[in-house]
A and B are shown apart, each in its own frame.
Chain A
Amino acid sequence: MKLFESFVIAIRSLSANKLRSSLTMLGMIIGVGAVISLMSIGSGAQAMITSTFEQMGTNVLTVMPSSPEAGGLMGMGMAMTSPSLTLDDAKALERVRSVVAVAPVNENFIEVTAGGESKTAIIHGSAPEYQQVYSYYLASGQFISDRNVASRDLVLVLGSGVAEELFGSDNPVGQRVKMKGHRFTVIGVLEPKGGAMMGFSLDDVVVTPITTYQTKLFTQRTPSGEDAVQSIAVQVASAEAMDEAREDIETVLRKYHRIASDEKDDFAVISMEQMLDILQQVTGIFTIFLGAIASISLLVGSIGIMNIMLVSVTERTREIGIRKAVGAKRRDILLQFLVEAAMLSLAGGSIGIIGGWLLSVLISQVDIGGTTLQAVVSPDIVILAVSVSVFIGLASGIYPAIRAARLNPIDALHYG
Chain B
Amino acid sequence: MIELENVSKIYRMGKVEVPALRGVSLNIQQGEMVSIIGPSGSGKSTLMNIIGCLDKPSSGSYMFEGANVSQLSDNRLAEMRNKKFGFAFQEYNLLSRASALANVELPLIYSGSRQKREQAMEALERVGLRERANHKPTELSGGEQQRVAIARALVNNPVLILADEPTGNLDSASTAEIIAIFRQLNRDGITVLIVTHETDIASQTKRTIRLLDGQIISDERVD
Residues of A at under 8 Å CB distance from B? 1-2, 5, 9, 12, 16, 318-319, 321-330, 332, 409-410, 413
> A409–B87 Cα gap in the complex (Å)?
13
Least CB distance from B107 to A in Å reads 4
Whether A2 and B112, one on each chain, are in contact in the complex, defined by CB atoms closer than 8 angstroms, is yes
**B152 contacts A by Cβ under 8 Å:** yes
> A328–B107 Cα gap in the complex (Å)?
8
**B79 contacts A by Cβ under 8 Å:** yes
Least CB distance from B211 to A in Å reads 18
Question: Which residues of chain B are near A16, meaning CB under 8 Å?
Answer: 97
Whether A323 and B106, one on each chain, are in contact in the complex, defined by CB atoms closer than 8 angstroms, is yes
Least CB distance from B51 to A in Å reads 13
A324-B78, A410-B54 known; A329+B106 contact, CB < 8 A: no
Closest residue of chain B to A330 (Cβ to Cβ) is B74
Q: Show 10 A/B contacts (Cβ-Cβ < 8 Å), sorted by A.
A: A322-B95, A323-B106, A323-B110, A326-B152, A327-B78, A327-B81, A329-B79, A330-B74, A332-B110, A413-B93
**Interface residues of B toward A: which range?**
20 to 34
Instruction: Please give 9 more A-B residue pairs, beta carbons under 8 A apart, in addition to A1-B110, A328-B110.
Output: A322-B93, A322-B95, A322-B106, A323-B106, A327-B110, A330-B74, A330-B75, A409-B54, A413-B93
Closest residue of chain B to A316 (Cβ to Cβ) is B95
B65-118 residues at the A interface, CB under 8 angstroms: 74-75, 78-79, 81-83, 87, 89, 93-95, 97-98, 106-107, 109-112
Residues of B at under 8 Å CB distance from A? 49, 54-55, 74-75, 78-79, 81-83, 87, 89, 93-95, 97-98, 106-107, 109-112, 152, 156
Question: Which residues of chain A are near B75, meaning CB under 8 Å?
Answer: 329-330
Whether A321 and B110, one on each chain, are in contact in the complex, defined by CB atoms closer than 8 angstroms, is no
Whether A321 and B78, one on each chain, are in contact in the complex, defined by CB atoms closer than 8 angstroms, is no
A1-B109, A322-B106 known; A328+B95 contact, CB < 8 A: no
| Partner of B93 from A2, A325, A328, A329 at Cβ < 8 Å | A325
Question: Which residues of chain A are near B83, meaning CB under 8 Å?
Answer: 327
Whether B89 and A413, one on each chain, are in contact in the complex, defined by CB atoms closer than 8 angstroms, is yes
> A325–B152 Cα gap in the complex (Å)?
11
A2-B112, A410-B54 known; A326+B95 contact, CB < 8 A: no
Question: Which residues of chain A are near B55, meaning CB under 8 Å?
Answer: 410
Closest residue of chain B to A322 (Cβ to Cβ) is B93
A324-B78, A326-B87, A328-B78 known; A410+B111 contact, CB < 8 A: no
Whether B54 and A325, one on each chain, are in contact in the complex, defined by CB atoms closer than 8 angstroms, is yes
Whether A5 and B109, one on each chain, are in contact in the complex, defined by CB atoms closer than 8 angstroms, is yes
Closest residue of chain A to B74 (Cβ to Cβ) is A330
> A312–B82 Cα gap in the complex (Å)?
25
Question: Which residues of chain B are near A409, meaning CB under 8 Å?
Answer: 54
Least CB distance from A11 to B in Å reads 13
Main secondary structure of the interface of A (DSSP, over half): helix
Whether B93 and A318, one on each chain, are in contact in the complex, defined by CB atoms closer than 8 angstroms, is yes
Question: Which residues of chain B are near A9, meaning CB under 8 Å?
Answer: 109
Whether A326 and B106, one on each chain, are in contact in the complex, defined by CB atoms closer than 8 angstroms, is yes
Least CB distance from B207 to A in Å reads 25
Question: Which residues of chain B are near A413, meaning CB under 8 Å?
Answer: 89, 93
| Partner of A326 from B74, B81, B112 at Cβ < 8 Å | B81
Closest residue of chain A to B75 (Cβ to Cβ) is A329
> A83–B223 Cα gap in the complex (Å)?
116
> A16–B79 Cα gap in the complex (Å)?
29
Closest residue of chain B to A327 (Cβ to Cβ) is B82
Closest residue of chain A to B97 (Cβ to Cβ) is A16
Whether A1 and B74, one on each chain, are in contact in the complex, defined by CB atoms closer than 8 angstroms, is no
Question: Which residues of chain B are near A321, meaning CB under 8 Å?
Answer: 93
Question: Which 3 pairs of residues, A with B, have the shortest CB-CB distance?
Answer: A327-B82, A326-B107, A327-B110
> A322–B110 Cα gap in the complex (Å)?
12
Whether B110 and A329, one on each chain, are in contact in the complex, defined by CB atoms closer than 8 angstroms, is yes
Whether B78 and A1, one on each chain, are in contact in the complex, defined by CB atoms closer than 8 angstroms, is no
Question: Which residues of chain B are near A410, meaning CB under 8 Å?
Answer: 49, 54-55
> A157–B89 Cα gap in the complex (Å)?
93
Closest residue of chain B to A2 (Cβ to Cβ) is B112
> A318–B91 Cα gap in the complex (Å)?
11
Whether B109 and A329, one on each chain, are in contact in the complex, defined by CB atoms closer than 8 angstroms, is no
> A254–B212 Cα gap in the complex (Å)?
107
Closest residue of chain A to B164 (Cβ to Cβ) is A413
> A327–B81 Cα gap in the complex (Å)?
5
Question: Which residues of chain B are near A322, meaning CB under 8 Å?
Answer: 93-95, 106
> A329–B78 Cα gap in the complex (Å)?
6
Question: Which residues of chain B are near A1, meaning CB under 8 Å?
Answer: 109-110, 112
Question: Which residues of chain A are near B93, meaning CB under 8 Å?
Answer: 318, 321-322, 325, 413
Give the most central of A2, A323, A325, A413: most B CB within 10 Å.
A325
Whether A326 and B110, one on each chain, are in contact in the complex, defined by CB atoms closer than 8 angstroms, is yes
> A133–B141 Cα gap in the complex (Å)?
92
